[in-house]
Amino acid sequence: MVAVIHASSSLRNILNYNEQKVKAGVALCLEAGLYPKEAAQLTFAQKLSRLEKLTELNQRTRVNSVHISLNFDPSENLEEAKLKAIAQEYLERIGFAGQPYLLYQHSDSGHPPFAYRNDEYQT
């Protein structure tokens, strides 16, 4: 597994990137962690609103999100439940447990990746 991590100050850009992949049919939103609804029931606006409201709690935050892509060898054919478990464990290990996140599975590259974004609250 290879992890690629990008910090950003634009929640909208990260969300738009993933949602455009969903619209193009090359990605799925597998999970909306710590959201009041399941991922399939959320609109773009609802996904973004939840994250923006949390960001507003700390006005000093400059980097309010990270986009992490975990990329697996092509021989690994991981099921949805396994991807969710990996994402949750990864969040715990990097200290982001308890933060809202969106988990996406992408199928438009040479290796089976999944990507999720998570708020990062810095003081």
CA distance 3 to 22: 21
pLDDT tens across 43-82, in order?
999 999 999 998 888 888 778 888 999 998 878 888 999 9
Residues 6+ apart with CB under 8 A from 31: 39, 84, 87, 101, 102, 103, 116
Q: What mean pLDDT comes out for the span 13-20?
A: 94
Yes or no: domain 2-119 corresponds to CATH 3.30.930.30: yes
Q: What mean pLDDT comes out for the span 27-32?
A: 96
pLDDT score of 115 more than 80: no
- Contact in structure between 42 and 31 (CB atoms under 8 Å): no
Helix (H, G, I), strand (E, B) or coil at 50: helix
From the list 109, 97, 40, the residue with the least C-alpha distance to 69 is: 109
